[in-house]
Structure 1
Amino acid sequence: RDVSHQAEGALALGLHDHTLNMMRKFAASIAAARDWCGYWEIDRYDRPAPVDYRSDEDFWYNLPANFDVLQASGRAWEWTGDTAWLYDPSLTEFYRRSLGDYVQRWDVNRDGIMESPESAGIRGIPTYWEGDGPRAATGGDLVAAQYAANRAYAGMLAARGAPGDAEDLVRFENEANRLRGLYNVRWWNDELGRFQTSVLPDGSFDATPVPAMQIFPLYFGIVEPERATELLDGLETGVNVEENSYLAEVHYRYGRDSAAFEFLLAQMDPGLDRREYPENPFTAVGGVVRWLAGVRPLASESLVETRSRLPGGVEWLELSNVPVLDGSLRVRQEGRSSTLVTRDSGTWSRWRAVFAGQHDSLFVDGQAIAASHRRTPAGESESFVVLNLQEGEARTVAVSGP
């Protein structure tokens, strides 16, 4: 879970090789003898950490993990464009097993969703939540993670384009859509204005208030915008620094930029208890690069996108040597009205400059250019232009002219 969540921040720091290495290790650790679970922690000698593993019959594993690793691998592919994420044998075997044999092994009632019997104990915990409350058969975060994994794998199959991938792509897209529809309808509790926490072994829903079980579905992107509005209005903070390290991203993802910035600042507060826990600084870096500065490499579209989310009190933000696709860039955001990007290195060349709101034109190096328009998943209007950059070239796009 930690490595998956930290991945985007690590990539923004240039730690791609380290991230790929760790993901390969986790992927290679799954086995039929462990019901397609892997090792929860692995030491530098490729051994399972004894604190979590004693034998194939006695080990700790949270079932959302396979899906989390898969969706993080999809995000890493988009950030770097490294085809290892698409073709590496250990990873592709992991993707296939996780969305096939793994689901089948744990899907007791054959509804396409995994259930963990009470007898499994810690050898197949059906949620990331490890606190108080009744023992679940299926946590809401498990369904959400499975959705994200199906969606990510469909995207990787589309990029790979091998024989048979097109048919599989449709199958995994359909499964993601099925899970999202089911979760937003059946798991939603109108009275509470939030999702159910879990399904219990008897098949009934449990609504024990657990903030993490609302945070994870937002993070995995399964929550539809109309649900997200009410959910975020009443969302409580988590119980530790790990859970709260998700809050900035989930608020940015659904257009709550002001709240997101406050959560991002909270991660950097020198007085924060356990601030040094690795997940916190890595996700803070990811929050600044991916969301505040809005740098978003998209290998699937062969471009890099930017969109400033600076709050009113921050006049500018500049980042240098940001790894994107096969190279790097420098970006300077002047509020939310002007973006300067320099293509420092690499063969990538296309830049999509995005701004919030509906603008008929955007000004490229001072010249008005007709803007294109779209809406975010949260329903916000955006305007953008797509430019080509030569290596070493710097260009500016702004919402108003000189």
Structure 2
Amino acid sequence: MKRPLLLYVFLCFCGSIYAQNGGVTFESSDAALQTAFNRAKEMALSYKGKPGDPVGPWYESALPPRSAFCMRDVAHQSIGGEILGLGKENKNMFRLFVNNISESKDWCSYWEINHFGKPAIEDYRNDKEFWYNLNANFDILNAGWKLYLWTGDEEYINGAGFENFYEKSVTDYIDRWVLQADSLLSRPTHPNPPVPFNNEDAFHRCRGLPSYSEGVPNIKMGVDLVGAIYRGLMSYASILEVKGQHDKAKLFKEKAAGYQKSIDAFWWNDSVSRYHTFYSNDHKFGMEEGETFLLWFDALKEGARKEKTIQHLLSKDWNIENLSYFPLIMYQNGQSEKACGYMLHLTDPATSRREYPEVSFGVIKGFAEGLMGVEADARIDQVTTLYRGKATATCELKGLPVLKTLITVKHEGNKKTTLTNSGKRKILWRPRFLDDKGKTIAKKAVWVKPGSSIIFSVTVKG
């Protein structure tokens, strides 16, 4: 019989601070993983904009030939951008998105902005005729909250432009596009159509597309939009709590709960054990892509339905945009071996369309937040770690920018972790480990001062 897990903590204060060289780096005893990281980093950084671009700091986050960035892709790529040192780029792009929300566009922003700082002509003609996926406002809201948690930059929750965008998105935007929880299946397909309306014109038909699944004809509502609204309202409630507005936060949590309940009440197909992904104008449910976003927005309750959704996603081949989400969400949902396989696949030179910008940024997220299990919470200056890789491998992420400092995290299998703070401010570190049965064990948080390292080791005596 195994005895209880024993913890040994060693503190060592470094005589020298790790000097960042070329940004964040990754080293591993697993050569394939190290190659995958290097490929992803090189490709992601190749999308950084030029210093003289009129738009200001930015990175490619749309179809590469457009020299542009769109709301969905930026929301997905932003934490990867922070990991790679692209904080200025994130701030500039997010400011442009939140500052361009307007009533004339029915509280939409610009779906896509090019390197000239203009709405991309591929998606915008004028304020009445443009392409826009309604998930976008909630995705940006959620991403802004995550950026605050990762960076500690309070502009993402307190800046005037951000506050206005968030408040309009959870109130006027929902009203204007008829997105209340009890109206999702009965709403008009085109609540704010250009006049005269031309269904053959994509800038008319897709002005307020209710899903990220753009190839589904005759769509009235996508389940991914329901998940996006749920997560957006939950993130907004969290922002309100930071501001001390607890009663208002409670109200928005209750609103969010209505959307999550509707997913299970209306969208589950018991006969095939899957969620429907869209509802059509002829009042029929259907299944296409879209389930990935239920996990991305963490909109499913723990249980059999969530597990069956994960297994279905693992059972099929998906387009490269969908797969770019898989490294992180599979690590987070107990599918570490599969997640690792996706990272290797997405960085394989033989993989078709791996040059799509979301791919390399998604892999970087998979390494930092997934494999290495780094999470940040600016509310309490805390970094959490959890190794999810092979029990015998050593993995080290060096020079990681988080919470206004730089850290190095080294996992020696799932039994020993070292965190080095090579920045200028102290952080709270809470190490976590997976035991031999896959159960997470969280240890007491400790402060790590600048220029110091702390080692946590967990051993099992037989």
| TM norm. shorter chain > 0.5 | yes
**Higher gyration radius (CA):** 2
Shift of 1:219: 0.9
Q: Tell me what 1:352 maps to.
A: 430
Does the CA-based 8 Å contact 1:12-1:323 persist in structure 2? yes
Does the CA-based 8 Å contact 2:296-2:329 persist in structure 1? yes
* Structure 2 residues without counterparts, runs of 5 or longer: 1-71, 194-203
Cα pair distance change 1:54/1:144, threshold 3 Å: same
* Residue 229 in structure 1 maps to residue 293 in structure 2: no
Equivalent in 238, 242, 259 of residue 159 of structure 1: 242
Does the CA-based 8 Å contact 2:279-2:286 persist in structure 1? no
Amino acid at match of 2:354: R
Deviations 1:131-166 (A, max 9, x none): 2x44211100000000111111111121222xxx22
- In structure 1, distance between residues paired with 2:80 and 2:179: 37
* Residue 200 in structure 1 maps to residue 280 in structure 2: yes
Q: Tell me what 1:363 maps to.
A: none
Q: Secondary structure of 2:114's match?
A: coil
Amino acid at match of 1:356: L
Deviations 1:37-63 (A, max 9, x none): 111111234311111111112111111
- In structure 2, distance between residues paired with 1:112 and 1:77: 32
My pick for the range that moved more, 379-388 or 94-103, is: 379-388
* Residue 261 in structure 1 maps to residue 340 in structure 2: yes
Shift of 1:191: 1.0
Does the CA-based 8 Å contact 1:116-1:126 persist in structure 2? no
Q: Secondary structure of 1:397's match?
A: strand
Equivalent residues in 2 for 1:61-210, closer than 5 Å:
61-107=132-178, 111=182, 113=184, 115=187, 117-118=189-190, 121-131=205-215, 133-161=216-244, 165-202=245-282, 204-208=283-287, 210=288
Does the CA-based 8 Å contact 1:251-1:257 persist in structure 2? yes
Cα pair distance change 1:108/1:74, threshold 3 Å: closer
Does the CA-based 8 Å contact 2:234-2:256 persist in structure 1? yes
Shift of 1:319: 1.2
Cα pair distance change 1:380/1:300, threshold 3 Å: farther
The count of residues paired between Structure 1 and Structure 2 equals 375
Shift of 1:358: 8.6
Cα pair distance change 1:88/1:238, threshold 3 Å: farther
* Structure 1 residues without counterparts, runs of 5 or longer: 360-378
- In structure 2, distance between residues paired with 1:50 and 1:307: 44
- In structure 1, distance between residues paired with 2:317 and 2:426: 39
Q: Tell me what 1:294 maps to.
A: 373
Does the CA-based 8 Å contact 1:78-1:298 persist in structure 2? yes
Does the CA-based 8 Å contact 1:245-1:283 persist in structure 2? yes
Does the CA-based 8 Å contact 1:345-1:392 persist in structure 2? yes
Does the CA-based 8 Å contact 1:354-1:385 persist in structure 2? no
Shift of 1:401: 8.1
Equivalent in 213, 231, 234 of residue 290 of structure 2: 213
Cα pair distance change 1:110/1:149, threshold 3 Å: closer
- In structure 1, distance between residues paired with 2:418 and 2:183: 47
With CA pairs under 8 Å and 6+ residues apart, which has the higher RCO, 1 or 2? 2
- In structure 2, distance between residues paired with 1:76 and 1:63: 21
- In structure 1, distance between residues paired with 2:284 and 2:377: 38
Q: Tell me what 1:39 maps to.
A: 110
Shift of 1:110: 7.4
Q: Tell me what 2:31 maps to.
A: none
My pick for the range that moved more, 272-281 or 238-247, is: 238-247
- In structure 1, distance between residues paired with 2:101 and 2:395: 42
My pick for the range that moved more, 184-193 or 83-92, is: 184-193
- In structure 1, distance between residues paired with 2:441 and 2:317: 31
